[in-house]
A and B are shown apart, each in its own frame.
Chain A
């Protein structure tokens, strides 16, 4: 069984400040981990993914995440927030691709607010 826990349903940062969105996972198999962003009334857009290669993963729009097996974490960061980053962010986990293990299990989401 797999699960993810996103700490903080709402995070507010000032424009230009560091963004840190927390995600911890639980998995009985080597995990693949993802961060998705969802803007209002839209679908999910992939920010980045970890698939057992480099532990520091760089994604789109300046976001990155580090896979830490010892801490079972995959936190999302961005050095400098921009107003356009305001959205809902979801962490998700899956097992190796192929078969039923490849279904995504999502966290409950973190709403990021960026203020002036």
Chain B
């Protein structure tokens, strides 16, 4: 197993900017989800993709968007960054009855 990788590890942006976070899932894992974990809180579900189609979304505004690609990679895009978007963003992939999480991207919005 190659695991789930995410890039970059850390990122600093200013309010109003746009950011793209990347995730590379394990081969064969055709479901990927993204989570936001604010400091001191549990992860919150952003959205889920299955075979390149969004099939579930949490309580996040449309400026949070994503893509999933045939090579098991995916992206999370956030437009018009706000200070409250500062968090750890986690990608998780699944096949069967388990989720494997990546190490996360720490986003700081100044």
Question: Chain A interface (Cβ within 8 Å of chain B)?
Answer: 32, 34, 36, 41-46, 49, 51, 90, 92, 97, 99-100, 102-109
Number of interface residues of B (CB under 8 A): 27
Q: Are B56 and A109 in contact (CB under 8 A)?
A: no
Q: Is B104 an interface residue (CB 8 A)?
A: yes
Q: Are B48 and A103 in contact (CB under 8 A)?
A: yes
Q: Are A44 and B43 in contact (CB under 8 A)?
A: yes
Q: Are B41 and A97 in contact (CB under 8 A)?
A: no
Q: Are B45 and A99 in contact (CB under 8 A)?
A: no
Q: Are A43 and B103 in contact (CB under 8 A)?
A: yes
Kindly list chain A residues whose C-beta atoms are within 8 Å of the C-beta of B103: 42-43
Q: Which of B60-82 contact A (CB under 8 A)?
A: none
Prevailing SS type, chain B contact patch: strand
Prevailing SS type, chain A contact patch: mixed
Q: Which of B38-53 contact A (CB under 8 A)?
A: 40-45, 48, 50
Q: Are B45 and A44 in contact (CB under 8 A)?
A: no
Top 4 A-B pairs, shortest CB-CB distance: A100-B56, A106-B42, A44-B101, A43-B103
Q: Are A102 and B104 in contact (CB under 8 A)?
A: no
Q: Are B43 and A106 in contact (CB under 8 A)?
A: yes
Q: Are A32 and B97 in contact (CB under 8 A)?
A: yes
Question: Knowing that A97-B96, A102-B94 are A-B contacts, what are 17 other residue pairs whose CB atoms are under 8 Å apart, sorted by A's residue number?
Answer: A41-B106, A42-B103, A43-B101, A44-B43, A44-B101, A46-B98, A49-B97, A90-B42, A92-B42, A99-B50, A99-B55, A103-B56, A104-B99, A105-B45, A106-B42, A107-B42, A108-B42
